[in-house]
């Protein structure tokens, strides 16, 4: 993947950061995106660039806003050149029963987890089609394949992004472009850490029981998935070797969706 240009959204922490590191390690120039302390993000970019010898840039675009998503893609082209690899990974969660679910959280989850990917894909495709090569990977979830209580917006957006993945894959298959989703089980990242208190509230479980009862008991492997394992699957889907894999939703889930 030497000298491929990649955009990885939501890559200041967790799965996205591990993916940006892995793509850079394999020779890609990468635009990172996401929220966080600017000095810490600059330090991360410098560290990845020093380790990989590739160009690493950052956009703080708020992907809940379509104009910022489009501007980020334009900025990436200006900084790196035409984009070969797009990983739509930014995601947010909110835990509440449907009848109490705040309207603004519903709108936010739809915007970040689903609509942002539409806007970035729309921006990236013309150059990919022209160059007859492209890789798009969307981070869905096991909750794109099965339901779960108290997460109506998250489950809807993750099912939605798998639908978008399949639709795009068919449309661009003849142009050397693949589009796939990965479906992680439980990866201990800030998105999970922030849910522990909300889950304790809606389930009535003590906080120290939530991780085991809500997340780990559903994975036959019984262990948290390291972000690097999801990143490795994403990087494979971005490789030349994965040219015939398209329109799929690949579980990286410790067996979560087997039962
Ligand atoms: P995370 O909270 O560490 O990462 C989320 C990233 O998205 C961060 O970089 C954050 O700054 C960014 N982000 C949030 N809102 C944004 C916005 N409006 N604009 C731009 N960036 C924004 O969590 P993670 O677990 O690494 O999540 C990455 C993806 O993996 C998400 O799509 C999530 O739904 C999915 N996922 C996670 C798990 C898990 O167990 N952690 C399981 C399945 C799927």
Ligand 1 centroid–CA 34 distance in Å is 9
Among 90, 226, 233, which residue has the most ligand 1 atoms within 8 Å of its CB, making it the best to mutate? Answer: 90
CA distance linking residue 206 with residue 197, whole number of Å: 9
ipTM: 0.99
3-class secondary structure, 112: helix
Q: How far is CA 14 from the centre of its chain?
A: 10
* C-beta 112 within 6 A of ligand 1: yes
| Residues forming a β-bridge with 183 | 251
Report the C-alpha gap between 166 and 177 in whole angstroms: 12
Q: Of 141, 135, 164, nearest to 153 (Cα)?
A: 141
Residue 256 annotated in active site: no
Q: How far is CA 15 from CA 102, 123, 152, 252, in A?
A: 27, 23, 22, 12
pLDDT by position in tens, the chain (length 259): 999 999 999 999 999 999 999 999 999 999 999 999 999 999 999 999 999 999 999 999 999 999 999 999 999 999 999 999 999 999 999 999 999 999 999 999 999 999 999 999 999 999 999 999 999 999 999 999 999 999 999 999 999 999 999 999 999 999 999 999 999 999 989 999 989 999 999 999 999 999 999 899 999 999 999 999 999 999 999 999 999 999 999 999 999 999 8
CA of 203 from ligand 1 middle (Å) equals 23
Cα separation, 68 vs 118, in Å, equals 13
What are the b/e assignments for 186-219, b being 16+ CB within 10 Å?
bbebebbeebbebbbebeebeeeebbeebbbebb
User: Catalytic pick from 58, 133, 154, 215?
Assistant: 154
Pairing mode of beta strands 177-184, 56-59: unpaired
Domain at 5-185+226-253, CATH class: alpha beta
């Amino acid at each position: 993947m030497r000298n491929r240009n990649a955009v990885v959204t939501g890559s200041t922490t967790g799965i996205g950061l591990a993916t940006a590191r892995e793509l850079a390690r394999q020779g890609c120039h990468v635009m990172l995106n996401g929220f966080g302390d600017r000095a810490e993000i600059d330090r991360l970019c410098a560290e990845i660039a020093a380790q990989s010898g590739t160009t690493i840039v950052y956009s703080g675009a708020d992907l809940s806003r379509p104009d910022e998503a489009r501007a980020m893609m334009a900025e990436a082209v200006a900084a790196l050149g035409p984009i070969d690899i797009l990983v739509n990974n930014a995601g947010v969660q909110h835990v509440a029963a449907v009848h109490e679910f705040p309207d603004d959280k519903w709108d936010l989850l739809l915007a970040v987890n689903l609509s942002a990917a539409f806007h970035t894909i729309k921006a990236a495709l013309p150059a990919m089609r022209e160059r007859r090569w492209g890789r798009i990977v969307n981070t869905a979830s096991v909750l794109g394949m099965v339901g779960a209580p108290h997460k109506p917006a998250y489950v809807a957006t993750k099912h939605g992004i798998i639908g978008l993945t399949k639709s795009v894959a068919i449309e661009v298959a003849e142009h050397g472009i693949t589009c796939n989703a990965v479906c992680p089980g439980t990866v201990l990242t800030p998105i999970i850490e922030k849910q522990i208190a909300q889950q304790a509230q809606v389930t009535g479980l003590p906080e120290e029981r939530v991780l085991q009862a809500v997340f780990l008991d559903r994975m036959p492997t019984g262990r948290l998935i390291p972000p690097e394992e999801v990143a490795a699957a994403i990087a494979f889907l971005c490789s030349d070797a994965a040219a015939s894999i398209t329109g799929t939703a690949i579980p990286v889930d410790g067996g979560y969706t087997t039962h």
